[in-house]
DNA sequence: TGTACATCAGTGAACGCGCGTTCACTGATGTAC
DNA sequence: TGTACATCAGTGAACGCGCGTTCACTGATGTAC
């Protein structure tokens, strides 16, 4: 990143800053993210970012929003590809995990609201809700079709989200890999097994 | 905390530092934790902590270990109180959530290994495993007793951990309360419903 | 097409700050005799 | 019981550092006529 620019104006510094920030989180962790450092990575002076972001928190907030957009898009696509609501549940779970795995920097950011809060920004936008809505719709549809146990759709949706979120969190913390290694398999296989097992249990609800 | 000491020697500075650190996480978040700040809260000079901890990471590592011990103790007690493995699963889930709720500082710390790593410390101790072992034992017992679906006990245990961990994480992020409010209930009720629903599903496994 | 000017998006130096850690030190405590 | 001494657990000043943010500035770009 640094040093590749020749002209005085950058061209698309805002974008460059966002991507430098993401890469920094990936390689050195959230703790390494400072506005100065991000600017340095983007090959720009420490004051330059202030033409694009009110402050440090605003940059992180922008990334958070984008992360939720990406996740929502992934989930929507996964849902569209699944033949029925039952299958959609599993596929969306795998999608959630894949998102965490491919974009750990986004994932870590998205669920740490304290990093994103700024005195200069409005309270948080509701963009994160859209991802949940996709899931809740599938569940409601599945219940209507009789493919999922009747009852509170919100509860089932929240549970499925929690399961996927727990797996994703433990995956990023290395706990999933640790467990998997102990039983002679890998994290991907183990998480797949977990979701299959739980989905099967939900498929055959008690009377 | 600050200014209450009269004698030159503190008495139990190590303990005081640990508890000041916990309180600081609770009130101002992990980002506010610095060795200097913790020392200040404990009413002691910036260099004093170095007689008790090799560095900042060592202090956090000590808290992490203690957190896992507390959690393991809670889970063990919950298990002992439950009449059978089936009930134990639910109760242990609730215990996990309650732990996150009562000790958010511990919880946040325990699952952020990067904060704990130090150049001056040995690689991480396996104390975190004990909590999982308690859970895995219950699951294995349940399967043996026919109260849980036969199959891979590790998979079921990992799934149940993920569910509880996801709920706990989303609880601390405020997402659980947000969802609960939208459907006119509260986070506690919603999480209870989720665990009951999933436990019921697992109780009546498909043939 | 050329020119004057406004605006945009950078620079680089500077501010005050809190940080982790080290150091030489000293007051308090415990122990051997 | 008293004393000499070693050890322990603090102090406080100092180091070098990177941080967020502000400021006056300037080079580049776009627009009106």
Q: Per residue in A100-136, pLDDT tens?
A: 999 999 999 999 877 777 666 555 566 678 999 999 9
Residue bearing the bigger pLDDT, A66 or B112:
A66
Tokens, residue A162: 């929690």
Distance, CA of B7 to C1' of C32, in Å? 26
Q: Do A201 and B202 touch (CB under 8 A)?
A: yes
Distances (CA, A) of A108 to A18, A25, A40, A185, B126: 15, 9, 22, 25, 24
**Closest chain A residue to B180 measured between Cα atoms?**
A154
Q: Per residue in A78-101, pLDDT tens?
A: 999 999 998 999 999 999 999 999
Where does B9-58 show beta strands of DSSP type E?
A: none
Which pLDDT belongs to residue B4? Answer: 52
In this structure, how many other beta carbons lie within 10 angstroms of the beta carbon of residue B11? Answer: 8
For strand C, is any atom closer than 7 Å to the CB of A34? no
Q: Which nucleotides of C are covered by protein (CB under 7 A)?
A: 9-14, 18-24, 27-29
Mean pLDDT over residues B12-40, rounded?
A: 96
Asked whether the beta carbons of A39 and A13 are under 8 A apart, the reply is: no
Q: Per residue in B61-119, pLDDT tens?
A: 999 999 999 999 999 999 999 999 989 999 999 999 999 999 999 999 999 877 777 66
State the DSSP code for A183: T
Sign of CA dihedral B83, B88, B93, B96: positive
Q: Can you tell me the distance from the alpha carbon of A110 to that of A160, in angstroms, rounded to the nearest whole number? A: 18
For strand C, is any atom closer than 7 Å to the CB of A48? yes
Q: Can you tell me the distance from the alpha carbon of B87 to that of B91, in angstroms, rounded to the nearest whole number? A: 6
For strand C, is any atom closer than 7 Å to the CB of B29? no
In this structure, how many other beta carbons lie within 10 angstroms of the beta carbon of residue B181? Answer: 12
Distance from CA of A7 to the nearest CA of B (A): 38
Q: With a cut of 80, say whether residue A59 has pLDDT above it.
A: yes
Which pLDDT belongs to residue A122? Answer: 52
Which pLDDT belongs to residue A112? Answer: 86
The torsion defined by the Cα of A127, A129, A131 and A137, in degrees rounded to 10, comes to: -140
Q: Can you tell me the distance from the alpha carbon of A156 to that of B134, in angstroms, rounded to the nearest whole number? A: 26
**Closest chain B residue to A128 measured between Cα atoms?**
B175
Q: How many whole angstroms from its chain centre is CA A27?
A: 17
Q: Do A163 and B159 touch (CB under 8 A)?
A: yes
Distances (CA, A) of A197 to A190, B56, B116, B152: 11, 42, 34, 9
Q: Can you tell me the distance from the alpha carbon of B89 to that of A119, in angstroms, rounded to the nearest whole number? A: 43
In this structure, how many other beta carbons lie within 10 angstroms of the beta carbon of residue A97? Answer: 23
Q: Which nucleotide is nearest to A42 (CA to C1')?
A: C10
**Closest chain A residue to B165 measured between Cα atoms?**
A166
Q: What is the pTM of this model?
A: 0.93
Q: Which nucleotide is nearest to A7 (CA to C1')?
A: D28
Q: Can you tell me the distance from the alpha carbon of B37 to that of A44, in angstroms, rounded to the nearest whole number? A: 33
Asked whether the beta carbons of A5 and A45 are under 8 A apart, the reply is: no
Which residues 145-184 of A are in CB contact (within 8 Å) with B? 149, 151-152, 154-156, 158-159, 161-167, 169-170, 173-176, 179, 182-183
Q: Do B193 and A152 touch (CB under 8 A)?
A: yes
Q: In chain A, what percentage of residues exceed pLDDT 70?
A: 90
Q: What is the DSSP string of A49-65?
A: GGGT-SSHHHHHHHHHH
Q: Can you tell me the distance from the alpha carbon of A28 to that of B91, in angstroms, rounded to the nearest whole number? A: 39
Distance from CA of B5 to the nearest CA of A (A): 34
């Amino acid at each position: 990143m640094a040093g590749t620019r020749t002209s005085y104006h950058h061209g698309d510094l805002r974008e460059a800053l966002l991507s430098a920030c993401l890469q920094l989180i990936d390689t050195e962790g959230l703790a390494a993210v400072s506005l100065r450092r991000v600017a340095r990575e983007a090959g720009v002076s420490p004051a330059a970012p202030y033409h694009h972001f009110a402050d440090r928190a605003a940059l992180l907030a922008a990334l958070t929003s984008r992360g939720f957009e990406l996740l929502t898009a992934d989930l929507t696509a996964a849902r569209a590809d699944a033949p029925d609501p039952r299958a959609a549940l599993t596929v969306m779970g795998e999608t959630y995990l894949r998102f965490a795995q491919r974009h750990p920097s986004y994932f870590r950011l998205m669920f740490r609201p304290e990093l994103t809060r700024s005195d200069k920004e409005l309270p948080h936008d509701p963009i994160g809700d859209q991802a949940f809505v996709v899931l809740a719709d599938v569940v409601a549809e599945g219940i209507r079709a009789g493919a999922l146990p009747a009852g509170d759709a919100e509860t089932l949706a929240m549970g499925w989200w929690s399961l996927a979120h727990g797996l994703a969190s433990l995956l990023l913390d290395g706990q999933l890999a640790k467990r998997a290694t102990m039983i002679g398999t890998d994290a991907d296989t183990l998480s797949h097994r977990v979701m299959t097992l739980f989905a099967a249990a939900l498929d055959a609800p008690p009377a």
